[in-house]
Structure formats: C-alpha cells, structure tokens
C-alpha cells in the first residue's frame, strides 16, 4: 500500500443555516489523488459539506461557518484569503449539467478568459486538451461553435467537467454528477473519474451506493449532519465498524 499524502484537513467544522445546524463537529482528512465519496440519506448534509471546499455556501444569506479547512496547510476560511482565488484551484461539477447558453468552445474557455488570459493560441490548446481530458473531444471536435445546450445530458455533464478542468484546479468537487443521467452516460462519467484521479484530488457526493463502491478509494458516511464513519471504501462496504452504517449500506433505510 502506498503512502497517502494528505491534501485537505477538515477540523472541527460546524455549519448553520440561520439557527438550524446543518453540520456537527466534522473532522476528516482527504488524500491526494484519491477519490473520496460522501454518502448518506438525503438531507444528511452531504451537499452542504462538499460546498464548503470552494466556499459556495458563502452565497447563501444567513449561513455561518465554524472551524477550519486546510488545503495544503492553508486555512481556506482565513478572512484574508481571496475566495475567487480559492475557487480557481477547487473546481466543481454540479448535480444537474449546467452549461452556459453559449457555444461549446466558449463554455470551456470561460474560466480562462475571466482569469485574464488573452492569448488566443493558448486558450485554443487548453480547450482542446480539457475536452480530451473530459473524454468529449472526439464527439464535439467538428462543432465547437454549436450551442452547448444542443448536447445530450451526458455530453453536457462532461462539458461541465471540461470547463472545470480548463482552469487547472487541484481539487475537483462533484455533487452527484451522474444523478440526472442515464446508465450509459453514468458509466462514461465513472470511467472518466477513474482517469482523472491521476491528476486531481476528487471529492464526490453520491446517493448511489454501488457507484461509491465502484469508483472511490475512501468513503465518508454522513447522517443528520454528523460524520458517522470514514474509512477505506472496501472496509466501509465489507465490514463497517458501526451498526448504523451497515444498516444504511445494506439498504435498511434511506
């Protein structure tokens, strides 16, 4: 077994929506170039949790955060830190494919142009490369100027992945990326995730237990805002240490 390098450290995190506590005293380590799956029944706080890593929850009025999240040793909730900067190094793919109503090319180039990159040749190369990395290139190479909304759902989601990859993040967050897709498209995304972990640290939320078992190296089980169990995926799915985890993964509730 190789030596795992810690990429992200979560320490004593509490999170509130107004007076309602959504996450309770969470602490865990996320390892570099691994896929970490977050599972749990709906409303357990898994989406809230994943949105802490790029501070998307900042956009919600009345939300409050306590604790520390360190990426490479730097606290991302340090008041002096630039959120915009953070979001460039932590990419995100959403539950529903959400390409912009622009061309395929413009979608991928968007992240570069807002980062002040004007070199057209560089952008063109980067778009091609990102589309290849997202396993979409061969399907769209002849129609890069078509509207992205003309693509199928699965293609749209891979386009969103390409869009996130173009800004060269170190961490990739995926919030149930395959929940709106058919089985074939889901399989493609799963294969892609397997490829991507060579370069990126991936955190994925999923409600699909088989998916978590198939693609992840580590699994965290959340319930009612608490982290119940966190371990190597194979251990979680074969001999979990807590009864409640076993009940959940064997489908007794949720």
Partner 1 sequence: MYFNYLHLREIVYKWIFNILAFASLLFLFGITIILFKEGLPLFKEVSAVKFIFGTSWYPTHEHPEYGILPLILASLLVTAGALFFCIPLGVGSALYIHELAGFKQRAFLKPLIEILAAIPSIVYGFFGMVVVAPFLQRVLNLPVGLTAFTGSLILGVMATPTVCSIAEDALSFVPKSFREASYAVGANRWQTLTKVVLPAAGSGISTGIILGMSRAVGETMTVLMVTGGAAVIPRSIFEPVRPMTSTIAAEMGEAVMGSIHYHALFAIGLILFLFTLVFNIIAEIISRRFRLKLGLGR
Partner 2 sequence: MKKTLAKKELVQRLGFGFLSLCIMITVFFLGLLIYFIAVRGIKVISWEFLTQAPRRFMTQGGVAPAIVGTFYLTLGAISLALPLGLACAIYLCEYSPKSSIVNIIRISINNLAGIPSVVFGLFGFAVFVKFFGFGVSILSGALTLGIMVLPGIISASQEAFLAVPQSFREASFALGATQWQTIKNIVIPSALPGILTGVILSIGRVAGETAPILFTAATFYIRGYPDSIFSEVMALPYHIYALMTEGTHPQEQTQIAYGCALILLVLVLLVSGIAIFIRQRKRSGYGH
Residues that bind partner 2 (CB under 8 A): 54, 56, 59, 61, 84-88, 91-92, 94, 96, 98-102, 110-111, 113-115, 147, 149, 160, 163-164, 167
Taking the least distance from each CB to partner 2, the nearer of 110 and 137 is 110
Q: Smallest distance, Å, CB 116 to partner 1?
A: 6
Q: Which region, judged by CB under 8 A, interacts with partner 1, from 62-70, 82-90, 127-135, 150-158?
A: 82-90
Task: Decide if 253 contacts 40 (C-beta within 8 A).
Answer: no
Contacts (Cβ under 8 Å, ≥6 apart) of 108? 126, 127, 130, 131, 159, 162, 163, 166
Separation of alpha carbons 94 and 92, rounded Å: 6
Between residues 84 and 150, which has the closer beta carbon with respect to partner 1? 84
Q: Choose the contact partner of 59 out of partner 2, partner 1, none; CB within 5 to 8 A by kind.
A: partner 2
Nearest to 180 by CA among 197, 196, 158, 157: 157
Distance between CA atoms of residues 189 and 202, nearest Å? 13
- Classified as helix, coil or strand, 222 is strand
Residue number, 26 or 165, with CB nearest to partner 2: 165
Helix pair angle (153-166, 183-196), 10° resolution: 20
Interface with partner 1 includes 78 (CB under 8 A)? no
Q: Does 72 bind partner 1 (CB under 8 A)?
A: no
CA dist list (Å): 240 to 104, 189, 232, 237, 250:
44, 27, 10, 6, 11
Instruction: Tell me the per-residue interface mask from 42 to 71 with partner 1, x by CB under 8 A, - otherwise.
Output: ------------------------------
Binding mask 121-160 for partner 1 (x = CB under 8 A): ----------------------------------------
Find the binder of partner 1 among 60, 84, 124, 149 (CB under 8 A). Answer: 84
Nearest to 45, CA basis, from 238, 240, 223 = 223
Where does this chain touch partner 1 (CB under 8 A) — which range of 35-43, 78-86, 213-221, 244-252?
A: 78-86
The answer to whether 69 and 13 have CB atoms below 8 angstroms apart is: yes
Tell me if 101 contacts partner 1 by CB under 8 A. Answer: no
Residue 82 binds partner 1 (CB under 8 A):
yes
Contacted by 91, from partner 1, partner 2, none: CB < 5 to 8 Å by type: partner 2
Contact status, residue 79 vs residue 125, Cβ threshold 8 Å: no
Q: Is 183 in the site for partner 1 (CB under 8 A)?
A: no
d(CA 134, CA 136): 5
**Which of partner 1, partner 2, none lies near 116, with the C-beta cut-off 5 to 8 A by kind?**
partner 1
Residue 224 DSSP one-character state = T
Q: Which CA distances in Å does 86 have to 10, 83, 126, 204?
A: 16, 5, 21, 18
Return residues touching partner 1 (CB under 8 A): 82, 84-85, 116
């Amino acid at each position: 077994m190789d030596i795992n390098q810690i990429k992200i450290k979560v320490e004593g995190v509490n999170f509130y929506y107004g007076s309602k506590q959504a996450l309770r005293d969470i602490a865990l380590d996320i390892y570099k170039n691994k896929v970490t799956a977050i599972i749990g029944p709906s409303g357990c706080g898994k989406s809230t949790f994943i949105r802490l890593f790029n501070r998307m929850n900042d956009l919600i009025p009345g939300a409050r955060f306590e604790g520390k999240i360190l990426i490479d040793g730097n606290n991302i909730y340090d008041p002096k830190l630039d959120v915009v900067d953070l979001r460039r190094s932590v990419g995100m793919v959403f539950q529903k494919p959400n390409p912009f109503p622009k061309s395929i090319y413009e979608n991928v180039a968007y992240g570069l142009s807002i980062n002040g990159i004007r070199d057209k040749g560089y952008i063109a190369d980067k778009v091609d490369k990102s589309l290849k990395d997202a396993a979409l290139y061969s399907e769209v190479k002849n129609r890069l100027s078509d509207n992205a909304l003309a693509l199928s759902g699965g293609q749209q989601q891979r386009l969103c992945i390409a869009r996130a990859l173009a800004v060269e993040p170190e961490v990739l967050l995926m919030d149930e990326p395959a929940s709106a897709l058919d089985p074939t498209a889901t399989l493609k995304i799963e294969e892609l995730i397997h490829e991507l972990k060579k370069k990126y640290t991936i955190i994925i939320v999923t409600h699909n237990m088989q998916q978590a078992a198939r693609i992840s190296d580590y699994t965290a089980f959340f319930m009612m805002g608490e982290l119940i169990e966190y371990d190597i995926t194979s251990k979680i799915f074969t001999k979990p240490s807590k009864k409640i985890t076993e009940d959940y993964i064997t489908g007794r509730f949720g």
